[in-house]
Amino acid sequence: MRYLDHAASTPVRPQARAALAQWLDPDDGVLGNPSATHAAGRAARVAVEVAREQVAAALDARPADVVFTSGGTESDNLAVKGLAWAGAKSGRRHVVVTAVEHPAVREAARWLATQGFTLDEVPVGHDGRVDVERVLAVVTDDTAVVSVMEANNELGSCNDIDALAAALVDRPAVLHTDAVQAFATRPVGLRPGLDALSLSGHKFGAPPGVGVAVLRRTVGVEPLFHGGGQDRGVRSGTFAAALDAAFGAAVEAAVDDRHRLASTATAQVARLRQVATALDGVHVHGPTAASDRLATHLHLGIDGVEAELLSFGLDQAGVAVSTGAACAAGAAATSHVTAACGIDDAAVLRLSVGWTTTDDDVERAADVLVDVVTRLRAGRGLFDDGPVDAGATTAAVTS
Ligand code: PLP
């Protein structure tokens, strides 16, 4: 399989696997409850707190700012709803997001709009980036939370969070950024005016099912669930010590590997782009300036092919990419991101490289892409001359 869908999920890094194994099977044979006071509990608690320090160090935060969650979706919900509810306590009931946020932010904000909050969804440009001035134009002293993603999961477009943070530093609104896609290749972290961000482990080498919401301690946040209040009183539930330890190890490994990954990915994406655009009717979407897009992502529109056949053909040839775009239940659907960017190609592809991608993967995937598109355009069946390749894998959809 040539796996070019790292933006959906990337393989677990060895450091994270080792941490997971160590804490699933600790030396004394018991993974205690980190809230228990006996030795097994204390040892598990140490694992959680070490991970918290690793995360804080990577994100210019304090350990007390870090809340462990089940992943990006929970982190985004906790930030958007938790900050909105806290703002409402002092009469601020306005929420601002962009039109291309991940559903974890977008649907959370839309739900708040059914619960007495007002919502502004700020439009983006054709390249998927939001104009900072357009965001600022809708922020008022009644705004509780502004959520603008560092980088978009489909197009890889990066926003100017520094400028937004600087402009909001003295305003009552709390700025949150979804840094889920950006963390693997770009330095992200809290900064003056940016008090909340979300990460998801499976996008940079931790197992799925663990993430963090980094919420500056000085900022009020209401919990999503009520219970024992284990994590700061903001997130109830027994700590997932082994997953949290794996997350901390993956954070360190990803930061150490960031520079290498960014430069390898830049070259690999340039090669994919070169081969793909040598075909007629292939459009590259997203920002043109390298500084405005993620090094790992390539978003293409392809004329003259049906999205479902393209997806099927690539899958059958053993190339895993995201087609169409649908973060929800696995079915290809029209993406709100491409719609918001005014992209109307019949078929779109997101190719995303990651820390395990080899140049050979890139060459093979590029060959297959050209072959499948050419066959489909010529009206030739995918299997006319025998299968395109052996070894199928299920193409994932965008997440
Ligand atoms: N935010 C962005 C930008 C994402 O790409 C994803 C991934 O699906 C999420 C949030 C949700 O993360 P998770 O899959 O950990 O719930």
72 lines ligand 1 (CB under 6 A): yes
Exposure string for 273-311, b = 16+ CB within 10 A, e = fewer: bebbeebeebeebbbeeeebbbbbbbbbbbeebebebbb
Answer for the pair 212, 69: CB distance below 8 angstroms, yes or no: yes
From the CA of 211, give the closest atom in ligand 1: 15
Query: What's the CA-to-centroid distance between 73 and ligand 1, angstroms?
Result: 6
What is the pLDDT at residue 332? 54
104 lines ligand 1 (CB under 6 A): yes
What is the pLDDT at residue 351? 97
Active-site residue numbers?
327
What is the pLDDT at residue 100? 98
76 lines ligand 1 (CB under 6 A): yes
316 lines ligand 1 (CB under 6 A): no
From the CA of 101, give the closest atom in ligand 1: 3
What is the pLDDT at residue 391? 37
Query: What's the CA-to-centroid distance between 44 and ligand 1, angstroms?
Result: 27
Answer for the pair 312, 319: CB distance below 8 angstroms, yes or no: no
Query: What's the CA-to-centroid distance between 96 and ligand 1, angstroms?
Result: 19
Q: What pTM did the predictor assign?
A: 0.94
153 lines ligand 1 (CB under 6 A): yes
Answer for the pair 181, 203: CB distance below 8 angstroms, yes or no: yes
Query: Which is nearest to 248 in space by CA: 11, 10, 6, 23?
Result: 23
173 lines ligand 1 (CB under 6 A): no
Pocket test for ligand 1, best of 68, 107, 180, 199 (most atoms within 8 A of CB): 180
Query: Which is nearest to 355 in space by CA: 315, 296, 298, 269?
Result: 296
Question: Could you list the pLDDT tens digit for every one of the 399 residues in the chain?
Answer: 999 999 999 999 999 999 999 999 888 788 999 999 999 999 999 999 999 999 999 999 999 999 999 999 999 999 999 999 999 999 999 999 999 999 999 999 999 999 999 999 999 999 999 999 999 999 999 999 999 999 999 999 999 999 999 999 999 999 999 999 999 999 999 999 999 999 999 999 999 999 999 999 999 999 999 999 999 999 999 999 999 999 999 999 999 999 999 999 999 999 999 999 999 999 999 999 999 999 999 999 999 999 889 989 999 999 999 986 433 334 456 799 999 999 988 899 999 999 999 999 999 999 999 999 999 999 877 776 654 443 333 333 345
Pocket test for ligand 1, best of 6, 10, 73, 327 (most atoms within 8 A of CB): 73
**Distance between CA atoms of 178 and 147, rounded to whole angstroms?**
7
Q: At what angle do helices 359-377 and 241-277 cross, to 10 degrees?
A: 50
Query: Which is nearest to 350 in space by CA: 383, 307, 292, 291?
Result: 307
Q: Could you give phi then psi for residue 320, rounded to 5 degrees?
A: -100, 115
Question: CA 119: distance to chain centroid?
Answer: 23
Query: What's the CA-to-centroid distance between 90 and ligand 1, angstroms?
Result: 30
Question: CA 146: distance to chain centroid?
Answer: 18
